[in-house]
């Protein structure tokens, strides 16, 4: 048997801090509205000419240093972003080339804010099959260059920030009884449940460039602003709370555990109110949930691994702890993972 152990996490946030007051100079908004509606106080934006792969590379460099591994030690790269450097190709081959990885397979997945749980399940299945031994997960998003930073786009623009994270997933051979489960202390990914429903595809999207519209970045597209993210905030909010609660409940029922068995809930950081509603539904005390949206906003694909890395560093969670991560994103896509760190 092969279990999947997440041996190292890293994060990279660009240095440029953008406070709510800074945004209020660009659009009709204010610190009180943003704080009350989302919990966000500030976020990070890249400076030109930083691209999404540049952020990804910084996170990967950190995880290589920390783990003392070299690019030659990996046999697969899974990257996730909704803001790639180019329309195609994705960022995974760019990271592979620029950091001198061997010519191993490298793919991008496109599940927006659900990236961590989807990538976790893919890595676990690939490792469990015996085909791959060490997989690099990399999550990076530069939303700042896509946002409509004026009053017209304020319902979306205030929510997002730029950031990246990397995770080393390692195959460890073990007996059947040593496979990670909620009732033993074996480290590794225990289980992931995923879902999707395209009913929400047009409730949160960047419409262009895309083939559903006529052509790509035409003058018309520019005029309509279709290259900015658009969101029906209230509808997305409701779906997010429902699906995140549902997936947490399903995982707990399946593994016959209660919220008390979980050391920490790590929700995708879309809105502090969403995290709070999920926490209350699960009847968890505030100290059993980790949030950092206040400092970084929603960093899309990177939020959950950024949280895990920061929570480990702050001692909020430690190796051996059972954590539950839940995510919801555009698509709609969602999922949850139970992991023994
Ligand atoms: N500053 C000031 N006023 C604003 C702002 C702003 N930045 N944005 C909107 N408003 C105004 C609106 O115009 C509206 O005014 P009106 O009542 O005069 O029409 C009022 O505030 C209320 O707007 P709502 O959109 O109804 O506010 P709501 O309380 O729903 O909060 C928010 C909006 C924060 C966007 C919320 O709906 C939300 O967080 N949605 C979900 C986000 C999410 O989960 N995303 C999923 C993951 S992202 C991914 O996968 C890429």
Please compute the mean of the pLDDT values over residues 19-28 and round it to a whole number: 98
> What backbone torsions phi and psi does residue 80 show, to the nearest 5 degrees?
-140, 135
Residue 26: DSSP 8-state: T
97 as an active site residue: the answer is no
Q: Counting atoms of ligand 1 from 1, which one is nearest the CA of 298?
A: 48
In terms of Cβ atoms closer than 10 Å to its own Cβ (0-12, 13-18, 19+), residue 73 is middle
169 as an active site residue: the answer is no
Please compute the mean of the pLDDT values over residues 280-303 and round it to a whole number: 97
Walk across the sheet containing 76-80 and list its strands.
2-12, 163-173, 134-141, 76-80, 106-109
Please compute the mean of the pLDDT values over residues 294-311 and round it to a whole number: 98
142 Cα to the center of ligand 1, angstroms: 21
* Cα–Cα distance measured from residue 243 to residue 262, given in angstroms and rounded to the nearest whole number: 19
Question: Per DSSP, which regions of 147-219 are E strands?
Answer: 163-173, 188-196, 204-205
Verify whether ligand 1 is closer than 6 Å to residue 76 (CB atom): no
pTM above 0.95, yes or no: yes
Q: Is the pLDDT of residue 212 over 90?
A: no
| Predicted confidence (pLDDT) per residue in 46-78, tens digit | 999 999 999 999 999 999 999 999 999 999 999
Please compute the mean of the pLDDT values over residues 239-261 and round it to a whole number: 97
Instruction: Output the CA angle 224-201-27, nearest 5 degrees.
Output: 40
228 as an active site residue: the answer is no
Mean pLDDT score of the chain, rounded to an integer?
97
- Catalytic one among 113, 169, 245, 307? 113
All structural domains of the chain, each given as residue ranges with its CATH number in brackets, are 2-178 (3.40.47.10), 188-340 (3.40.47.10)
Please compute the mean of the pLDDT values over residues 115-133 and round it to a whole number: 98
Verify whether ligand 1 is closer than 6 Å to residue 38 (CB atom): yes
| Predicted confidence (pLDDT) per residue in 262-290, tens digit | 999 999 999 999 999 999 999 999 999 99
Contact in structure between 41 and 32 (CB atoms under 8 Å): no
Q: Counting atoms of ligand 1 from 1, which one is nearest the CA of 229?
A: 51
- Catalytic one among 8, 245, 268, 309? 268
Please compute the mean of the pLDDT values over residues 226-253 and round it to a whole number: 97
pLDDT score of 215? 61
């Amino acid at each position: 048997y092969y279990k999947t152990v997440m041996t190292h996490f890293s994060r990279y946030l660009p240095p440029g801090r953008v406070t709510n007051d800074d945004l209020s100079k660009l659009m009709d908004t204010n610190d009180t509205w943003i704080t009350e509606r989302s919990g966000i106080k500030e976020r990070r934006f890249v400076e030109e000419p930083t691209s999404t792969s540049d952020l990804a590379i910084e996170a990967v460099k950190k995880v290589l240093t920390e783990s003392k591994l070299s690019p030659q030690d990996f046999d697969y790269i899974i990257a996730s972003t909704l803001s790639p450097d180019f329309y195609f190709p994705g960022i995974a081959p760019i990271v592979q080339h620029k950091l001198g990885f061997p010519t191993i397979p490298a793919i991008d997945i496109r599940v927006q804010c659900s990236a961590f749980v989807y990538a976790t399940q893919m890595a676990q299945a690939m490792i469990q099959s015996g085909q791959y031994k060490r997989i690099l997960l990399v999550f990076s998003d530069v939303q700042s260059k896509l946002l409509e930073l004026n009053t017209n786009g304020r319902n979306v623009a205030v929510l997002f920030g730029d950031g990246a994270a990397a995770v080393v997933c390692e195959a460890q051979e073990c007996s059947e009884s040593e496979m990670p489960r909620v009732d033993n202390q074996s480290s590794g990914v225990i289980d992931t449940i995923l879902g999707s429903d395209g009913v929400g595809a047009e409730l949160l999207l960047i419409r262009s460039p895309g083939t559903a519209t006529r052509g790509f970045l035409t003058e018309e597209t520019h005029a309509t602003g279709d290259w900015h993210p658009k969101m029906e905030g209230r509808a997305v909010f409701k779906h997010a709370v429902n699906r995140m609660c549902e997936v947490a409940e399903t995982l707990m029922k399946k593994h016959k555990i209660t919220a008390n068995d979980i050391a920490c809930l790590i929700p995708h950081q879309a809105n502090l109110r969403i995290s709070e509603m999920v926490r209350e539904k699960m009847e968890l005390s505030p100290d059993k949930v980790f949030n950092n949206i206040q400092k970084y906003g929603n960093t899309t694909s990177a939020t959950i691994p950024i949280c895990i890395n920061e929570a480990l560093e702050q001692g909020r969670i430690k190796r051996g702890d059972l954590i539950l991560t839940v995510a919801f994103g555009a698509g709609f896509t969602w999922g949850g993972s139970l992991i023994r760190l």
